[in-house]
Amino acid sequence: MDGIISVLGFLTLVLEGISCQGVYAPPTVRIVHSGHACNVEEERYSERVYTIREGETLELTCLVTGHPRPQIRWTKTAGSVSDRFQDSSVFNETLHIAKIQRHQGGRYYCKAENGLGSPAIKSIRVDVYYLDEPVVTVHQSIGEAKEQFYYERTVFLRCVANSNPPIRYSWYRGRDVLSQGSDKGVEIYEPFFTQLQGETKILKLKNLRPKDYANYSCIASVSNVCGLADRRVVFRLTNKTAPASIKLLVEDPIVVNPGQTVSLVCITTAGEPAPSLAWTSGSGSLPEKSLMKEGVLTLPAIASEDTGVYSCIASNNVGNPAKKSTTIIVRALKKGRFWITPDPYHNDDNIQIGREVKISCQVEATPPEELQFSWLKNGRALRSSERMVITQTDPDISPGTTNLDIIDLKFTDFGTYTCVAALRGGAIPEISIDVNISSTTVPPNLTVPRGKSPMAVREGETVELECLVSGKPKPIILWSRADKEAPMPDGSMQMESYDGVLRIVNVSREMSGSYRCQTSQYNGFNVKPREAVIELIVRYPPAVEPVWQEVRQGLGRQVSMNCRVLRAHPSRVLRYEWRLGSRLLHAGTFDSRDDTDYIVRSLAREGYGEYTCDVINEVGPGRCTFLLTGETPPTLHHTNRPRVYGYKLQWTQMNPSAVDRIMAYRLGIRQTGQQRWWEQDIPVEGNIQKGELITHNLTELIRPEAYVVRLTPITRFGEGDSSTRVVTYSAPINPDLREFHCSFEEDSVCMFTQDKNDDFDWTRHSAATRDTKYTPNTGPSGDRSGSKQGFFMYIETSRPRKDGDTARLLSPTFNVAPKNPYSITSPPVYCFSFYYHMYGKHIGSLNAFVKQKGQSTSDTGPVWSLSGNQGDRWRQAKISIHPTASFQVIFEGIRGPGIEGDIAIDDVTLEEGECPDPPSNRMYRAYILIWQLADTKKKLLLIN
C-alpha cells in the first residue's frame, strides 16, 4: 500500500510539472498598505493598527494565495452583509477610500474564499487622526452680573477642540505664556478629563484687573502626531464683553396653509463681541429649501412635513448661547379611517334590523381645533335626529373622531354613508370616507393556511408569514410578537398589513418565536379581535468553540483536543468529523454530550499540523481548528512595568439551576470613552453551584485608565443576560508597612473606610466644591497645600448633627514585619503624622487611635487628642507608635455645641522610624513670637 501511495505521489508531481496548473490549496491572506500611513504597529491582543490623517487616501491591499484563485471581499465588520461597503471582483484586491473621514475609522476585514476549507480572514484597525480648530468660551461665576464683565468679578475661559489623539492645551495673554503660579490673579485647572476631548484646560481670572483685559490665545496641540500642526484661537476680553441676547419678531405659534412662504425674523439686542445668529429645527436639520440671511429664516412653499419647532440661537462664545423658539403649524388632514360597531349594547357581531349600529370616522388634523365633520347618506346631507345621532367629539375615544349612531335599524337605513372632514377656512382639501351598511356586511374571519405554521427557514433567507382574512369590509391586520415583549423586525412593537402577509428579509436566529396576527377595528368591524399565532423556527449551523487554538506538545506525549457545541438549531447535532489536513481521522454521532474529543496517544512528527472538527446539523457545519505544533513556547520573564496594572474579577451566577448548563462566559472589556471591545471566552468546567465564586484575572490594564467589563453567560441555546461593571485604578497600598502617604485626592481615599457604629460620616471635599454659604466662619479655605482644588476629609457639623455626635474614619490594616524574624522583642517604630484644621467657635474634639489586631477602639485610649478652636490654619501632629501586631489608625471627630465646628484632616503619613524631635520650648516660643510680630506688621500695613 505504501508503495502505491508513493507511486501516486510521484505521478501527482509529474502531472503537476506537465500541466503547470498548480495543486488545489485553500486560501491564505495577508493585508499590506501603501502610502499615507503615519504609523503601523502591533497592539495588544495581536491587533494591527494603521494610523492615518483625516483627508488622506487609505489604500489597503489583500495579498492572497490559493488555487483556484480566491475571491476577495472587504467588509467593515466580520462579514456582515448590512455593513458591506465594497464587493471586490476576483482580481480587485485593493480597498481604496479617498479623503478618509473620522467616522470611517474602525476595523476592516479582508475575506478570501475559493471553496476549499474555511475562508481566510485577516483584519486591521484603521485609526483616523484629526485636530479641529479650538473654541474658547467665556463664563462668569454663578450669581454674578450677566450684563457685562467688570472689576471685582471672576471669569473662566475654557478652550475645547475635538481631536484624536487627546490634546494638550496652552494659554497666552498677548505674548506672555500663562502657567500655574506665574500670576497670582490667574489659575489654570488641569487636567480636567472629558470623554470627548481628553485633557481640557480652564483659565480662571480672579477679580479682574486692568491688565486682564487683553487678547487671550489658546493653542491646541497633539505634538505634531501624524503631521497635525498646532491650532490657535484668539479671544479678546474687554470691559464691555457681554453674553448674547436676542428677540423674535414673530407670533407663537404660526399657523399657515401648505404652499405659503414663511419668514421668521430674529434680531440681536445685546452682546459683545457681536453674536452670530443661526437657526435650528427640532427635527434635527432645516428643510433643504430654507434660506437664511442676517437672522431671517425663509421657508418657501411650506409643506406639512415642515411642521415643528424652530429656534434662533445667538452665540458669541460668552456665557451660554441665547435661544428663542417658535412653533410652525402647517394645516393638514390625513389618514382617514372608519370602523363599524354592531349594537354595542348586545355584544353582537352582525348587523341586525331593529338593533343599533354605530359608524365611527377618524382623521388626523393639524391643528385639531379647526377640524369640522359632516355626514351624508347616499350623497345627501344628514342631520342629527332622535334616530340618527351625530356626535362630533367623544371624550371616550381618540381626538379627531365623529360618530353616527343609527338607532332601531330599518331596511330603509341600508345605503352608503359618507363622513366628510374639513378644516375651517377651506384652504385644505377635505377628506371623505364612504361606509356601506347593507345586509351583506359581514364580520371578519381569520385563519392560518394549512402547512404555514410552524414555518422553518434557514438563517439569512426571506420568509413570509401569512394569515387569511375575510369579511366585508376587509380589516387591517396587526402583527406582533406573541411569546415575548420584543420589537418586530422593523423596530416597532406592531406592524400593519393590508393583505395579511408579514414579510421578513434576512431572518436571524433572534427572530425565532411566535407571531400573532389579529384584526384591527380600523376599516372594518369593531368587534372582538380575531387572532391566530404562527410559529417561526430559524435554523442555523452549530456555533462551536474554540474556533481556533494553537496547541504545543512534545514528541511522544499525549494530546487531547476538545470541540464544544455552544448553540445550534436544530439543537440535535447529527454528526462530527475530525480531520488532519484533508485526511479523515474519526467520525461519529452525538448522543447526550455537547462536545467531542480527539486524543493522540503518542505524538509523532507526522502528527503535527492543522486538525479540524466539523460539527454538522441539518443546516451546515461549525468548525473547530487546532494547530498542533512542537515549537517551544517563549519563556516569559517578569519586568517592572509601572504603567500596567491587574484586577481580580470575581462573580457568582444567580440561580444557575434555573437555566441550561453554562458552558462558558464571554468576557468583553473596553477602555472608558472608547468604542471597541476586546472579547474572549472563559470556559466553565462542570456545573456551577449557587453562590460559587468564580475568579478571572484581568492583566495588561494601563493605569490610570478605567475599563468597562461585560460578562455574558453562554449555554447551548445562546447567550444570556449580560452584566457590566467599571474597573478603576487605585494607587497600591503597601500592606507590609514601610511608608504610607494619603492626601485624599483619589475617590478611593486610600482605602480608608467609615465606621459603621458611629453617628455620622467623614466627608471628602475640596474648597472649590464645599458649600460654606451657611457656615462661613469654620473649616479650611483650601487643602493643606493651600490649593482650592485639593481634597481633604472633614466632619460637617450642620443640622441634623448634635452636640457629642462622633464620626470615625478607619485606615486600611497594616502588617508589621518584625526586624527580628524569630521574635517581637524589638518591634518596629513608626512615625504617624497628619495635618489638622480646627477653626470655629464651636469646635469639639479630634482624637487619633492606633487599634491593633484583636483590640476594639474602647480597649485603648487615643494616642493623640485635641479640643477647641486652633485658628484658621493647618497644623501638623506627629506621634511615634510601636505596634506589635497588624494595626489600623483611626480618626475620631466629635461635634461641639454648635454648627461652626468643622474639623478637617489631610496628608496622613506613616513612616518607618522615630518621629524627629520637635524644637525645644524656647525655640518654639521664639517661632510663635516671630509669627505674631509678622502677623501684626501685616495688619498694620493693611490699615495704612
> What distance in Å separates the CA atoms of residue 182 and residue 189, rounded to the nearest whole number?
14
| 166-187 mean pLDDT | 88
Between the two ends of the chain, the Cα-to-Cα distance in Å is 117
Between 270 and 738, where is the model more confident? 270
CATH of the domain at 310: 2.60.40.10
Q: Choose among 103, 110, 98, 111: nearest CA to 127.
A: 103
Rounded Cα–Cα distance for residues 315 and 272 (Å): 10
The residue out of 130, 146, 179 marking a domain boundary is: 130
Phi/psi class of residue 202: alpha, beta or left (left: φ > 0; alpha: ψ in -120 to 50)? Answer: beta
d(CA 169, CA 173): 14
Could you say which of 603, 628, 653 is where a domain stops?
Answer: 628
Question: What pLDDT sits at residue 130?
Answer: 94
Q: What share of the chain is helix, strand, coil (3-state, %, to 5)?
A: 10, 45, 45
How many CB atoms neighbour CB 591 within 10 A? 5
- Rounded Cα distance, 689 and 698, in Å: 23
Grid coordinates given for 324: 428663542
What distances in angstroms separate CA 508 from CA 512, 538, 545, 571, 712, one per listed residue?
A: 8, 7, 21, 16, 20
The answer to whether the Cα torsion of 305, 306, 311, 313 is positive or negative is positive
Q: Which set of grid coordinates corresponds to residue 579?
A: 480531520
Identify whether the C-beta of residue 90 lies closer than 8 Å to the C-beta of residue 69. Answer: yes
676-683: long-range pairs with CB below 8 Å, 24+: 676/106, 676/107, 676/125, 677/710, 678/45, 681/545, 681/546, 681/714, 683/545, 683/564
Please check whether residues 511 and 588 belong to one and the same domain.
Answer: no
Tell which wins on pLDDT, 726 or 341: 341
pLDDT value, residue 879:
93
- Say if residues 545 and 562 touch (Cβ distance below 8 Å): no
**Residue 598 pLDDT > 50, yes or no?**
yes
| Side chain identity at residue 463, one-letter code | V
Banded model confidence at residue 906, pLDDT cuts 50, 70, 90:
very high
Whether residue 521 is found in the same domain as residue 405: no
Q: What is the pLDDT of residue 192?
A: 55
Q: Does pLDDT of 861 surpass 80? A: yes
**Comparison of pLDDT for 685 and 322, the residue scoring more:** 322
Beta strands in 606-735 (DSSP E): 609-616, 621-629, 644-651, 664-671, 678-683, 694-702, 707-715, 718-719, 723-727
Domain contains 70:
yes
User: Distance between CA 763 and CA 760 in Å, rounded?
Assistant: 10
For the four alpha carbons of 653, 656, 659 and 663, in that order, the dihedral sign comes to positive
- Residues 587-597, mean pLDDT to the nearest whole number: 85
Residue of higher predicted confidence among 783 and 925? 783
> Do 477 and 549 belong to one domain?
no
Least confident of 18-32, 219-233, 487-501: 18-32
Is residue 48 situated within a structural domain? yes
Residue 638 lies in a domain: no
Residues 499 and 578 in one domain: no
For residues 816 and 373, which has the higher predicted lDDT (pLDDT)?
373
Highest mean pLDDT among 183-197, 255-269, 346-360, 432-446: 255-269
Position 358 scores a pLDDT of 92
For residues 789-803, average pLDDT: 85
Average pLDDT over residues 488-504: 88
d(CA 663, CA 512): 22
CA 872 to chain centre: 45
Q: Name the grid cell of 62.
A: 489583500
Task: Return the amino acid letter for 598.
Answer: Y
pLDDT value of position 545? 85
Question: Using 50, 70 and 90 to split pLDDT, how confident is the model at 297?
Answer: very high
Region 68-82: what's the mean pLDDT?
A: 64
Indicate the residue among 440, 469, 485 that finishes a domain. Answer: 440
Q: In the prediction, which pLDDT does 644 show?
A: 61
**Given this model, what pLDDT does residue 420 score?**
94
Instruction: Pick the more confident residue, 852 or 192.
Output: 852
Determine, yes or no, domain membership for 420.
yes
pLDDT exceeds 50 at position 493: yes
Distances (CA, A) of 85 to 48, 108, 314: 21, 11, 40
**With the CA atoms of 492, 496, 497 and 503 taken in that order, what torsion angle do they form, in degrees rounded to the nearest 10?**
0
Question: Could you tell me which of 549, 547, 562, 545 has the C-alpha nearest to residue 629?
Answer: 549
- Residues 751 and 723 occupy one common structural domain: no
* Locus of grid cell 502528527: 607
Q: How far is C-alpha 699 from the geometric centre of its chain's CA atoms? A: 23
Report cis status (omega within 30 of 0) of the bond before 367. yes
User: For residue 514, which of 487, 483, 537, 479 has the smallest C-alpha distance?
Assistant: 483
Cell of 563: 470541540
Residue 16 has pLDDT above 80, yes or no: no
Q: Indicate which CATH number applies to the domain containing 871.
A: 2.60.120.200
> Is there a domain that residue 505 lies in?
yes
DSSP 288-325: TT-EEETTEEEE-S--GGG-EEEEEEEE-SBSSPEEEE
Query: By mean pLDDT, which of 238-247, 380-389, 425-434, 813-822 is the weakest?
Result: 813-822
Question: Could you tell me if 277 and 318 lie in one domain?
Answer: yes
Higher pLDDT, 545 or 702: 545
Q: List pLDDT tens digits, range 641-674.
A: 345 667 778 888 877 776 677 888 888 888 877 7
Is it true that the peptide bond before 735 is cis, omega within 30 degrees of 0?
no
Percentage of the chain lying above the pLDDT 90 cut: 33
Q: Is pLDDT above 90 for 324?
A: yes
Q: What is the dihedral of CA 412, 435, 352, 404, to 10 degrees?
A: -80
Degrees, nearest 5: CA angle 164-166-171: 125
Q: Would you say residue 298 has pLDDT above 80?
A: yes
C-alpha grid cell for residue 74?
Answer: 472587504
Residues 351/386, Cβ–Cβ less than 8 Å: no
Banded model confidence at residue 828, pLDDT cuts 50, 70, 90 = confident
pLDDT digits (tens, 9 = 90+) for 558-585: 999 999 888 888 877 889 999 999 999 9
CA neighbor of 613 nearest in space, from 625, 628, 601: 625
d(CA 924, CA 757): 40
The pairing of strands 548-552 and 621-629 is parallel
pLDDT of residue 83: 40
Q: In Å, how far are 486, 487, 612 from 491, measured between CA atoms? A: 9, 5, 39
Is residue 8 a part of any domain in this protein? Answer: no
Statement to judge: residues 753 and 720 lie in one domain: no
- Of the pLDDT bands very low, low, confident and very high (cuts 50, 70, 90), residue 8 is very low
pLDDT value of residue 17: 35
Decide if 920 is inside a domain: no
At residue 684 the predicted structure's pLDDT band, cuts being 50, 70 and 90, is confident
Query: What's the average model confidence in pLDDT over 342-353?
Result: 81
Q: Which three cell numbers stand for residue 25?
A: 490549496
Asked if residues 829 and 881 have their Cβ atoms less than 8 Å apart, the reply is yes
Identify which of 279-283, 569-573, 763-767, 779-783 has the greatest average pLDDT: 279-283
The predicted structure's pLDDT at residue 771: 54
Identify the weakest region by mean pLDDT among 6-20, 196-210, 517-531, 794-808: 6-20
Q: What pLDDT shows up at residue 933?
A: 47
Q: Are residues 344 and 431 in the same domain?
A: yes
Q: Cell 429656534 belongs to which residue?
A: 311
- Do 745 and 856 share a domain, yes or no? yes
Q: Strand 296-299 relative to strand 291-293: parallel, antiparallel, unpaired?
A: antiparallel
Cβ atoms of residues 572 and 617 within 8 Å = yes
pLDDT band per the 50, 70, 90 thresholds, residue 817 = low
pLDDT of 720 above 90: no
Q: How many domains does the chain have?
A: 8
The CA distances from residue 511 to 458, 466, 538, in Å, are 12, 16, 7
Count CB neighbours of 531 within 10 A. Answer: 15
Q: Specify whether 347 is located in the same domain as 306.
A: no
Q: Please check the confidence at residue 934 and state whether its pLDDT lies above 60.
A: no
Partner residues linked to 649 by β-bridges: 696
Q: What is the pLDDT of residue 462?
A: 92
For residue 886, how far is the Cα from the chain centroid?
43
Share of the chain above pLDDT 70, in %: 83
Between CA 585 and CA 612 the distance in angstroms is 10
Contact 341, 347 (CB under 8 A): no
Task: Measure the CA–CA gap between 376 and 361, rounded to whole angstroms.
Answer: 13
C-alpha to C-alpha distance for 19 and 74, rounded to whole angstroms: 33
The average pLDDT across 189-193 equals 62
Closest among 559, 667, 583, 575 to 622, alpha carbons compared: 575
Query: 393 pLDDT exceeds 70?
Result: no
Among residues 554, 561, 551, which one has the least CA distance to residue 586?
A: 561
Mean confidence (pLDDT) of the chain? 81
The residue count of the chain comes to 944
- The verdict on 219 and 354 lying in the same domain is no
Cα separation, 307 vs 839, whole angstroms: 62
pLDDT for 583: 93
Range of the structural domain that residue 163 is part of: 135-236
pLDDT score recorded for residue 150:
43
CA distances from 790 to 182, 705, 747 (A): 19, 21, 12
Output the nine-digit C-alpha cell for 321. 448661547
Same domain flag for 529 and 593: no
| Average pLDDT value for residue range 355-360 | 91
Is the residue at 386 inside a domain? yes
CA atoms within 13 A on the CB side of 719: 13
pLDDT for the residue numbered 77: 60
Residue 5: is its pLDDT beyond 90? no
Q: And the C-alpha cell for 512?
A: 425565532
Provide the pairing of β-strand 120-131 with 47-53.
parallel
Q: Which residue has the higher pLDDT, 326 or 73?
A: 326
